[in-house]
Amino acid sequence: MFFSDNLGNIDHCFFSRLGGVSLNNYKSLNCGLGSNDYKPYIQKNRLAVSKYFNLSSKHLVTLYQTHSNKVGVLKSNNLKQIYMNDGIVTKQKNMILGILTADCAPVLFYDNKKKIIGACHAGWKGALTGIIQNTINAMLYLGSNLKDIKCTIGPCIAKDSYEVKDDFYNIFIESDSKNSSYFHQFDKKKYNFDLRGFIIKQLENNSISDISSICLDTYLQEALFYSYRRSIHKKERDYGRMISTIVIKE
């Protein structure tokens, strides 16, 4: 099960958790090397993702994501140097940019005119501190024009499932009082947070107008998606990660 679209020679796909070989809590397409899943299963899953694009797994690039706002530019010779980022952009052909998520939002960018692509991991920290803007800026550095950059947001935790406390709310309000519009207070010190809505606003603030979105809730739809928050509530020791991908094909 996946959600994909072919954009000429730019292809992207939001994979669900279905279609892999992992077992138990990781069933089945767990692509997160940072999980405690059996590593040969993860490698087989990543190979399956690569084969979807008719490429080998050596063409699949994922990052060591830390909820930062850092973005790397993938060139022909710097793969090891850009590992520690939460966003990545490139002009390189046949390199699959992969973002791993389990409630956070995968955000994919593409410029069909200049053949430039980007991807970022947007949890609340990254979204608040500039991962969206920094990814866009990296595409501009490679030669994109703002009017040509399009964006699509994959499945993530929905507002009704994202309960937070007042300390979380206060962080956003201290940054900008207008951020209150992304919260719904349902108890004295508890709120629901609209991560997707907040990300869309960040895109709009950076002059991105062509935005599509897959509005599916990773927390509620257990059969389709891994969820960090759901694993915590179920007292599970670990959880799998979905992968979201974009590539420029030759």
> With contact defined as beta carbons under 8 Å apart, do 140 and 146 qualify?
yes
Residue 147 to residue 140: CA distance in whole angstroms: 11
CATH dotted code for 2-157+195-248: 3.60.140.10
d(CA 1, CA 142): 33
Using the predicted structure, report yes or no on whether residue 6 has a pLDDT greater than 70: no
pTM of the complete model? 0.96
The answer to whether 122 touches 73, Cβ cutoff 8 Å, is no
Give the up-direction half-sphere exposure of residue 156: CA atoms within 13 A in the CB hemisphere. 26
User: In this predicted structure, what is the pLDDT of residue 1?
Assistant: 47
* 176 pLDDT higher than 80: yes
**Domain-by-domain residue ranges, the chain?**
2-157+195-248
Q: Which residues of 159-188 are buried (b: 16+ CB within 10 A; e: fewer)?
A: bebbebeeeebeebeeeeeebeebbeeeee
Res. 3: pLDDT tops 70? no
Contact 19, 44 (CB under 8 A): no
Residue 22 CA from chain centroid, whole number: 21
What pLDDT digit, counting tens, does each position of 26-52 carry?
A: 999 999 999 999 999 999 999 999 999
The helix (run of H) or strand (run of E) holding residue 116 is strand 116-122
pLDDT tens-place string over residues 56-101? 999 999 999 999 999 999 998 898 889 999 999 999 999 999 999 9
For CA atoms 13, 18, 23, 25, give the dihedral sign: positive
Instruction: Please report the sign of the dihedral spanned by the C-alpha atoms of residue 66, residue 10, residue 242, residue 211.
Output: positive
